[in-house]
Structure 1
Amino acid sequence: MPLPAFCTHETPLRLLKKARANRHDPVPRQILADWLEQYGGNEGTLLSRVLRSSFGTSTLQRLDPADTQQLKPFVGAIHGWFHGCQDDNHDPVVRAWLLAPDSFELNRGVWLEMMPVPAGTFLRGYSRAEVESEPDRLKRRLEKGISLDPDLELIAKPFLMAKYPTTQEQWLAVNKTDPSKFIGATRPVESIRWRGTRQFSRRISRKFKQTFSVPMPVEWEYACRAGTTTPFHFGDTCDGTQANCNGKKPYGTKSKGPYVVGTTPVGSYPPNDWGIYDMHGNVMEWCADDPAMEIDTTYYVRKGGCWRMPAIECRAASSNTRAFYGSGYNCGFRVLMRITNPDPA
């Protein structure tokens, strides 16, 4: 049973991980219970009561029958977050994800921050409304007999996604030179070729004994949407004030916004609901259908759009391809950390 939707926001995810890692400390659990009670509606209020009672069965017995029926599926899911290590049937990948480190010191004072992304399902691709609003795209789909609706995709395993695109100071903590055109320690590194992303990922994987790579396109879009179904994680429209894109060519609105010629420091715009920044605009991000692939294919997908692109090209579903030997001062990347070979004990 997946977690209730309101539990997949950044705040409860962090509280869940902290409370799970410190089961004997009541403070994180109390804070989580308070958050659920305030923001989780009726289900959150009921769950908060269970949390405060340490999952005692007496709490369930005191609930009204209708409330018990509503809450029962979620109690098992929440219970698994806290007691997975004592449950032989609990998924070891989820257990390892809950206990995984979420920050790594690449060099003195230079940190890589990762955000937890839970397993789940989502609607991938352009919505029917988006397709019908674009005559050329609509025509191609009708001619090829392709559905106008997005696809339902399953992300079977949780992972961790970099909080920001890889910055220049992070890149220089691992490499000797910075290829970027728009220089700045906290700006995203750009002008990166595909092989550069693989080299970076391998080096930090060896250093921290974890499995880093660029995300697959489906993982990237899932992490970008963070439970939303709109063209952008912040809504239906974009005019350059919500993300670093060409605001002179907005999407979903006639109101034109700023056009920043160049990249901006990461975190300059609000994050999505999972606490991940710069998923729209700034730099396009390399992806890979098979991050473990040893042989270069001709082309790889890039997601997210960039500072020079119109907002329509920066939507969650948008993508383009580039030859593995190409780069460009609008192309960067971020890393994903997979949970592999978890300790079954």
Structure 2
Amino acid sequence: MTENQNQPREYDAVLGGQNPPPIGAAVLGGISGIKSSLASPIVEVKIAALSEALKYGDAGLDLIIGVLKDESMSVKIAAYSLLQNREYLNKKLHMPNYLPTFEFDAITVNFLPLKNSCNRHSAHFFPEDLGNGIVLEMVRIRGGTFMMGSPSNETGRYDCESPQHPVTVPAFFAGKYPITQAQWQAVMGNNPSKFKGEKRPVENVSWDDAVEFCSQLWQKTGKKYRLLSEAEWEYACRADTTTAFHFGEYITTEIVNYDASDPCGYTAGGLYREETTDLGIFPPNAFGLCDMHGNVSEWCSDRWNQNYNGAPTDGSSWETGKEDYRVLRGGCWASECIGCRCATRGASPASNRSSGNSFRVAVASLSSSS
């Protein structure tokens, strides 16, 4: 067969034109060449051109900003990643507005068994494609300051929840749910869970296992996934509330999976399921996060400390404390009601595995550099 002399080969340089260049080929023509690549129907070509655009100052930044409205989620997120750490642009454009949003209802329970109110909310998020139709939904949690710990008059509180203190948490992204068994399988290639179900949380995972998952996810996606710090977890759970639970002062098995067989001051009792449930069947909090109370306890990055004396106030992980013991938050399917409060703290050896323990992931930025 005669080779077409006009057809560019894999490593040829091509000038901007009507036909998209081969992936990996060099594109000449400066801004014109980048514009040509950004007009390509090939996602990989567009993403490669975005990085090149940074070399051309304001003109290149204008091209990247234009791509924020691209129909392809992959291209849009690549552009967002390049721009989000540029503070002046972030303020000017309010970058989170360029992420997709979802709407949801958050409830408030002030009197049992009634749902006192139901309010409509929305949140920004990005989907992380793990392959084979498995998607990890990461919700943007805006930064803010809150009072961490429980007030002295909260029923069932423990001394380890004091002193209550202000903490300022920078914005970050948190998993909408704890990691599912399908997501774990997509990244790790196995399923250690006792209570099987693709949409159920993965459990029987140690803190060490959870950290390894984050490492593998980082390698797979190029984003620095990690566990939530304890402060991030409580801030994300409370979602601007100050009550014992993010939905109010009362808890029911209609909205949380926990052990209600022994009623306490927060509940009138109810169903004890004795196992995990599918994620997302209970209403989210006002930040759009589901299953923050009950179902599975969630590993946090921090070492265990007996109280908050000397705790960080910037939302970071507390890396000094009891050796090899790590924090668990949220309570699980086997916890009584007081163990599911926003402020309840627990701990376990980092190597311990339990059918009540899982985790959700966080990432500070969509960029691989932060």
- In the alignment, structure 1 residue 314 sits paired with structure 2 residue 360: no
Structure 1 residue ranges without an equivalent (≥5): 1-19, 26-83
Give the aligned partner of residue 205 of structure 1: 218
Secondary structure of 1:222 counterpart: helix
Cα deviation 1:160-209 (Å, max 9, x = unaligned)? 10001100000000112211000000000000011111111111112211
Give the aligned partner of residue 15 of structure 2: none
Structure 1's 251 and 338: CA in aligned 2 closer, same or farther, altered over 3 A?
farther
Structure 1's 246 and 118: CA in aligned 2 closer, same or farther, altered over 3 A?
same
More strand by share: 2
Instruction: Choose from 256, 263, 273 the match for 2:276.
Output: 263
Q: TM-score, with normalisation over the residues of structure 2?
A: 0.61
- In the alignment, structure 1 residue 219 sits paired with structure 2 residue 229: no
Instruction: Choose from 299, 312, 324 the match for 1:298.
Output: 324
Structure 2 residue ranges without an equivalent (≥5): 1-64, 71-82, 100-124, 303-315
More helix by share: 1
Structure 1's 96 and 207: CA in aligned 2 closer, same or farther, altered over 3 A?
farther
Give the aligned partner of residue 105 of structure 1: 129
Cα separation, 2, equivalents of 1:248 and 1:178: 30
Contact 2:250 2:267 in 1 (8 A): no
Contact 2:260 2:269 in 1 (8 A): yes
Contact 1:239 1:248 in 2 (8 A): no
- In the alignment, structure 1 residue 249 sits paired with structure 2 residue 262: yes
Cα deviation 1:31-74 (Å, max 9, x = unaligned)? xxxxxxxxxxxxxxxxxxxxxxxxxxxxxxxxxxxxxxxxxxxx
Instruction: Choose from 212, 234, 249 the match for 1:236.
Output: 249
Give the aligned partner of residue 339 of structure 1: 365
Cα separation, 1, equivalents of 2:181 and 2:326: 22
Letter aligned with residue 135 of structure 2: W
- State the Cα distance separating 1:151 from its structure 2 match: 1.3
Cα separation, 1, equivalents of 2:201 and 2:69: 40
Identical columns (%): 33
Cα separation, 2, equivalents of 1:343 and 1:298: 28
Secondary structure of 1:287 counterpart: strand
Corresponding pairs, count: 253
Structure 1's 95 and 201: CA in aligned 2 closer, same or farther, altered over 3 A?
farther
Cα separation, 1, equivalents of 2:355 and 2:295: 10
Cα separation, 1, equivalents of 2:141 and 2:356: 26
- State the Cα distance separating 1:23 from its structure 2 match: 8.4
Contact 1:287 1:300 in 2 (8 A): yes
Q: TM-score, with normalisation over the residues of structure 1?
A: 0.65
- State the Cα distance separating 1:248 from its structure 2 match: 1.9
Cα separation, 2, equivalents of 1:118 and 1:21: 24
Give the aligned partner of residue 46 of structure 1: none
Taking only aligned residues, the RMSD between alpha carbons, in angstroms, comes to: 3.3
| 4+ runs deviating over 6 angstroms | 20-25, 290-293, 340-344
Give the structure with higher Rg (CA): 2
